[in-house]
Every structure is written in structure tokens, then in C-alpha cells.
């Protein structure tokens, strides 16, 4: 009877494995966009049962442990092997420092004989892995793949700025440590490295941080969050520190020393504001800062002189918690705008492209959903571009921030419905035409009817 049961288990396992499919990745949608990436014509098949070798870093190091755990969450079955053996993935800390990579840069190579991640430091290796995991299918956390066919490629990458931060002010509504850790997880995914927490005050009597005389963070809480974030390459900075409680003081001193060099542009990077039409959004601060507007801000605009550029440590966005009621709304306010901030702080200015980013964000939404993160779909307010054809006619192009949005419209002053004409591309309209637009996304009406008169 036992033998029959064992045979049944084996047969079921074989049948199940035969149902798993192979995914082929043709064009990775990586955020932030790497500094340099070139694809070749070859491929490498990464099997579910894979082997990893490490060089220059211990098998029990935090980074290697993180990578092994992450791969298991992606339904992979990694095993560690000696560096002298053949392996699917090689994780390597360089014996000799590669000056092109600096402290946080990395080199990722997918060749016909395997994948190599190399860096000068563990944090660089950690970021190399974040890029690799984004090369896997977006639904890899929900779907078990027999194997993944990766394109042969070389990625050479390093950050544009040292300081890539999120500033959370908890004075309005204290944010639980559990939520802050989940925020740190998504920050690390997109290579952000500073989490600044303020709005609380250290009370010598209660030995806790307080918000409006309510004790909310103990030294143990702070140590838990600080240690967890450090394992993700993130430095946590508190606005006030208890004496003798921490040795993250050097980090705080650096922050204070460079505070005038860290840019926080609230016109573009205040993630407390609405990110789409307020009539269709949860409660937020006044003002609308869409994903596109967030992406527009450049800490170093064209024409910045070298002296000023050299003095800029980096930048950070901010989230005020007085309108944030729970974890779901925290994620909704941050995502996907946090990705725009991350790309602007990591990717060189001449490599950034709104058109490319807009496309890559759609893939990232699927990844975020697979991890259980909530996010805003984006703004569906129509974006118009009018070009003169002649004295009486204008050529009108329409789009929204969100790709694949269906735009239904009328020009006879009637209210558009899904039975109205659908916008398929730029159209010529006479001046004075009254156009009304209805945006529909994923078969749902996403906004009110917009009206414009062609001038």
C-alpha cells in the first residue's frame, strides 16, 4: 500500500511538472532604467531547479540569504554549489575594485552558458539581483514556470545620485513599523536607499518617540526597522535620537551636514497630493501631482553648472500621513509614483524617457499586484496636442497617462458613450469644434466626461 501511495505521488508530481510552462522574455521592462544595457541574439534557459555559486562573499551573507529566499518565493528551487562547479547563476564580489561600478553599481551578464552578477560590494550585488528578478515574467510570484528563457544581454549600471530617499512625516498619523517595513521592501526593489522618518519627538520620560503625546515608537521598534532596512541596503534616519540608544548617528550627522544638498521638490514629489481627478480618488492633500508630473522633475535640469551638480547629494519625495488611514492607502499614494522618483534618482538624465517609462510601469503594476501591493492606475485626464493644419483646421492628438486606454468621443455636443466613435489616432477638426471625451480602461469608465473647444 505504501509503495502504491509513493508511486501515486511521483506520478502526480510528474503530471504537475508537465503542466508548468516555459516563459520567454524578449524585452525586459526594468525600473529604474539601467545606465547601459545591450541585448544580443542568444538566450539562456534558466530552469526552475537552478544552481548558484558565490565568490568573494559568504554563502550565509545577508545578500545571499535574501536572494535564495526571494527565488523560492518566485517558485524557483535554487541550490548552492561550489564556485568550481558549473552553475546557472554566479554571484561575485570583485577581487579588484571595478572603478566603473563604484559602491552601488553592478555588472549583470546573461550568456549562453549562464548568468553572472558581479559588484564591488554586497549592496551592488543586491541591486544586480533586483534587476535580474525584474527580467523574470511579471507574474512569477503567482505562476510556477518550468523554465524561463532569458535574452543574452549585458547590463552595466550604477546610480546617478548617492541619496535616493523617501521622507515620511508621521505627525498626522503614526505609521506602524510593519507598514514601514513593507514600504522599505518596495523601496529596495527600485534601488532607493534612504528612509527618513520625522514628525515624532523623543520623550526622555517614556523612552519612546511620541506623536501628540502618544507613545508610538520604542527603541526596540527603531532597532527592528533600522536592522531590517539595512539588510535591504536602506539607511533609516530618525529626526530625533535618544542619547546612547544608537551608535545610525553618523548617518544622521551626514544627513544634517548635507540637508541643503538633498532636494525635496514638493511641486512634483509630494506624494501626499492627489494623483488623478480628486472626484475619483481617496482623500489626499490639495493639488494634483500625476505620475507624469512626478516623472518630469529632474534634480539636475539641463544647464546646471558642474559646481552645483557636484554638490547635489541626491533627492527625496515625501509622504505626509495625516490623510493615510491604513496600509492599503499608503501603497495607493506611493505607487506607482515612487517608481518615477526612483528612476529620476538612479538613471542618467539622458537615458530617461517618459514614453519608455510609461510602458515599463504597466509591467511593474503586474509585478506589484503579484506581490500584493495596491497602487493607483493613474490619471485618465486626456492629454491634448494640437497642431495647426491651416487657418480653419487643427490636427488633434489625444492620449492619457495610462497606455491602452480607450477614448470615446463626440463632436456634435452629445454625451459620449461606449457606442460613440473611438479615437484611433490624430484627427483633423475645425476650429470651434466642441469635443467631448470618455476614457475607458479595462472595460471600466475611469473618469468623468471631458469637454474641450478646439481653438
CB atoms within 10 A of CB 250: 10
Task: State the pTM of this model.
Answer: 0.90
CATH class of 19-157: alpha beta
Quickly name the fold that domain 383-453 has.
Immunoglobulin-like (2.60.40)
Q: How far apart are CA 378 and CA 288, in angstroms?
A: 11
Distance, CA of 381 to CA of 41 (rounded, Å) = 40
Q: What is the pLDDT along the chain (455 residues), one digit of tens a residue?
A: 555 556 555 545 544 544 678 999 999 999 999 999 999 999 999 999 999 999 999 999 999 999 999 999 999 999 999 998 899 999 999 999 999 999 999 999 999 999 999 999 999 999 999 999 999 999 999 999 999 999 999 999 999 999 999 999 998 888 999 999 999 999 999 999 999 998 888 888 888 888 887 778 888 999 999 999 999 999 998 876 554 333 373 444 444 444 445 688 888 999 999 999 888 888 999 999 999 999 999 888 777 788 777 778 899 999 999 888 889 999 999 999 999 999 999 999 999 999 999 999 999 999 999 999 999 999 999 988 999 999 999 999 999 999 999 999 999 999 999 999 999 999 999 999 999 999 999 988 888 899 989 98
Q: Do domains 19-157 and 163-370 have the same CATH topology?
A: no
What DSSP element (H or E) covers 91? strand 89-93
What is each CA distance from 448 to 89, 243, 282, 407, 426, in whole angstroms?
Answer: 50, 54, 16, 12, 22
CATH of 163-370, one of 3.20.20.80, 3.40.50.720, 3.30.310.10, 3.30.450.40: 3.20.20.80
CA distance 155 to 239: 37
Task: Give domain limits for the chain.
Answer: 19-157, 163-370, 383-453
C-alpha cell at 178: 510593519
Amino acid at each position: 500500500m505504501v509503495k502504491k501511495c509513493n508511486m501515486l505521488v511521483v506520478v502526480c508530481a510528474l503530471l504537475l511538472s508537465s503542466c508548468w510552462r516555459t516563459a520567454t522574455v524578449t524585452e525586459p521592462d526594468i525600473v529604474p532604467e539601467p545606465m547601459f544595457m545591450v541585448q544580443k541574439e542568444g538566450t539562456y534557459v534558466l530552469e526552475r531547479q537552478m544552481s548558484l555559486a558565490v565568490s568573494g562573499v559568504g554563502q550565509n551573507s545577508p545578500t545571499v540569504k535574501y536572494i535564495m529566499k526571494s527565488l523560492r518565493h518566485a517558485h524557483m528551487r535554487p541550490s548552492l554549489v561550489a564556485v568550481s562547479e558549473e552553475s546557472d547563476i554566479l554571484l561575485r564580489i570583485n577581487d579588484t575594485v571595478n572603478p566603473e561600478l563604484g559602491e552601488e553599481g553592478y555588472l549583470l551578464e546573461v550568456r549562453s552558458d549562464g548568468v553572472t552578477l558581479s559588484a564591488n560590494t554586497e549592496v551592488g550585488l543586491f541591486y544586480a539581483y533586483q534587476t535580474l528578478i525584474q527580467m523574470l515574467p511579471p507574474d512569477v510570484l503567482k505562476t510556477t514556470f518550468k523554465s524561463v528563457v532569458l535574452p543574452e544581454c549585458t547590463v552595466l549600471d550604477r546610480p546617478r545620485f548617492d541619496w535616493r530617499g523617501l521622507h515620511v512625516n508621521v505627525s498626522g498619523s503614526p505609521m506602524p513599523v510593519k507598514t514601514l517595513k513593507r514600504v522599505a521592501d518596495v523601496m529596495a526593489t527600485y534601488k532607493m536607499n534612504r528612509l527618513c522618518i520625522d514628525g515624532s519627538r523623543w520623550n526622555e520620560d517614556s523612552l519612546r518617540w511620541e506623536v501628540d503625546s502618544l507613545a508610538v515608537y520604542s527603541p526596540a521598534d527603531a532597532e527592528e526597522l533600522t536592522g531590517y532596512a539595512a539588510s535591504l541596503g536602506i539607511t533609516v534616519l530618525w529626526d530625533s535620537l535618544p542619547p546612547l540608544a544608537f551608535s545610525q548617528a553618523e548617518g544622521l550627522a551626514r544627513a544634517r551636514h548635507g540637508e541643503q544638498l538633498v532636494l525635496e521638490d514638493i511641486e512634483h514629489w509630494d506624494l501626499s497630493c492627489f494623483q488623478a481627478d480628486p472626484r475619483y480618488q481617496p482623500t489626499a492633500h490639495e493639488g494634483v501631482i500625476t505620475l507624469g508630473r512626478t516623472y518630469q522633475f529632474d534634480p539636475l535640469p539641463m544647464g546646471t553648472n558642474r559646481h552645483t551638480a557636484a554638490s547635489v547629494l541626491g533627492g527625496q519625495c515625501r509622504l505626509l500621513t495625516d490623510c493615510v488611514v491604513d496600509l492599503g492607502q499608503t501603497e495607493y499614494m506611493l505607487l506607482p509614483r515612487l517608481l518615477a522618483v526612483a528612476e529620476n534618482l538612479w538613471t542618467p538624465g539622458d537615458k530617461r524617457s517618459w514614453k519608455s517609462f510609461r510602458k515599463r510601469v504597466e509591467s511593474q503594476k503586474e509585478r506589484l499586484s503579484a506581490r500584493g501591493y495596491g497602487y493607483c492606475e493613474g490619471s485618465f485626464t486626456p492629454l491634448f496636442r494640437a497642431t495647426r493644419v491651416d487657418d480653419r483646421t487643427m490636427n488633434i492628438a489625444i492620449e492619457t497617462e495610462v497606455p491602452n486606454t480607450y477614448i470615446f468621443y463626440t463632436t456634435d455636443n452629445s454625451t459620449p458613450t461606449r457606442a460613440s466613435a473611438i479615437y484611433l489616432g490624430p484627427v483633423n477638426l475645425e476650429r470651434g469644434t466642441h469635443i467631448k471625451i470618455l476614457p475607458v480602461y479595462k472595460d471600466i469608465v475611469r473618469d468623468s466626461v471631458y469637454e474641450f473647444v478646439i481653438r
